[in-house]
Amino acid sequence: MTQGGPQISSALETRRSGAIGAPVLAIESSCDDTACAILDADGRVLAERVHTQREHDAFGGVVPEIAARAHLAALPGLVEATLRDAGLSAPDLGAIAASTGPGLIGGLIVGSGVGKGMALALGLPFIAVNHIEAHALSPRLPGVVQGGAPFPYLLLLVSGGHCQCIAVEGVGRYRKLGGTIDDAAGEAFDKVAKMLGLGWPGGPAIEALAREGRDDVHPLPRPLLGRPGCDFSFSGLKTAVAQRLAPYGAGALPRRDAADLAASFQTCVADVMVDRAAHALDLLPEATTLVVAGGVAANGAIRARLMALASERGLPFAAPPLRLCTDNAVMVGWAAIETMRAAAGLGRWPFDDTAVRPRPRWPLAEMAERFDVVR
């Protein structure tokens, strides 16, 4: 990150005193959702728009090159529409933020490129947002937890590409307690849904089908259940589902059998999630809250089980609203606001992230460098 210095334009220098009090435009393009949002300085959402790419449906998963082209086609109009929805024009903004990693590199290049271009043209700060940090800070959005989730809290991040237990100790201060050693939970949902002949994405389809079935019909494994630590593994569970399907051959699976298998799979994932989260709480006894975020957090059965765990531990449970569990620009804008506030508190505002390059991998541990935090 470049902080201050000659790379900040004279226009930015002129407007910097009011930047933190003005609205922030945020862009999210790390996977297959193109999203824009505008938040005021207090984190209230003035406008938000999401364009979900349907170009990938025929492939049963995200095709990176198609995703990048779709972001490029959708984003300019989406930015204009979001500004219009908020009743603002570009000069009313105080900063531009965009997901700059981790994620699919093509989409990150498009989103951050549009954000940087706008910031340079308007003489505004550009905030490079770590997509995982945006998820991690989302429970502090106004209205999610009364007064905001206080640090430190335990974050269980479960999505198509990530499955981690993270100690969130402050803005820029994160400690990974455990993570997946193979498939992420959302990836397992997608693959099992494909085996069952369901649509993509698989999570909502399996959850809907599971409501029709019994979860005690198929004795599936629960990988790492009861083991020390809080790592995850779902590859063996996915293989076990495939083995259960093998006797049916290539023919269509009877709906009752499919429903029972979906319910059994979903319960196995929930059992593993609860067990791993319990172990993570043992590693973070000072946790103030149990937080779940990411696309899989929208699964009602898993969310209910984690809520019960929090209650057993005497902790509040927090999860973003369902629309903010999946990739969205609101959390990106909020992460930028938290970053700006923290930097200002340290006397390190304004700074310019224009030199920060998009990255397919961006470990959370590196975010401490933004404020020279000694870990």
The response to whether 131 counts as a known ligand-binding position is yes
The response to whether 328 counts as a known ligand-binding position is no
The response to whether 299 counts as a known ligand-binding position is yes
**Angle ∠(335,207,32) on CA atoms, nearest 5:** 40
The response to whether 161 counts as a known ligand-binding position is yes
The response to whether 13 counts as a known ligand-binding position is no
Distance CA 78, CA 267 (A): 39
Q: Letter for the amino acid at 11?
A: A
Distance CA 307, CA 298 (A): 13
Look at strands 95-101 and 126-130 and give their pairing: parallel
The response to whether 190 counts as a known ligand-binding position is yes
Q: Letter for the amino acid at 344?
A: A
Burial of 123 (0-12, 13-18, 19+ CB in 10 A): middle
Distance CA 363, CA 140 (A): 21
The response to whether 327 counts as a known ligand-binding position is yes
Distance CA 168, CA 331 (A): 15
**Among 110, 122, 156, which Cα is nearest to 281's?**
156
DSSP assignment, residue 180? B
The response to whether 158 counts as a known ligand-binding position is yes
- Whats the size of the chain, residue-wise? 375
The response to whether 159 counts as a known ligand-binding position is yes
Contact in structure between 100 and 130 (CB atoms under 8 Å) = yes
**Among 312, 297, 310, 306, which Cα is nearest to 136's?**
297
Binding site residue list: 131, 135, 157-161, 190, 203, 207, 299, 327
Binding site residue list for Fe cation: 131, 135, 327
Binding site residue list for substrate: 157-161, 190, 203, 207, 299
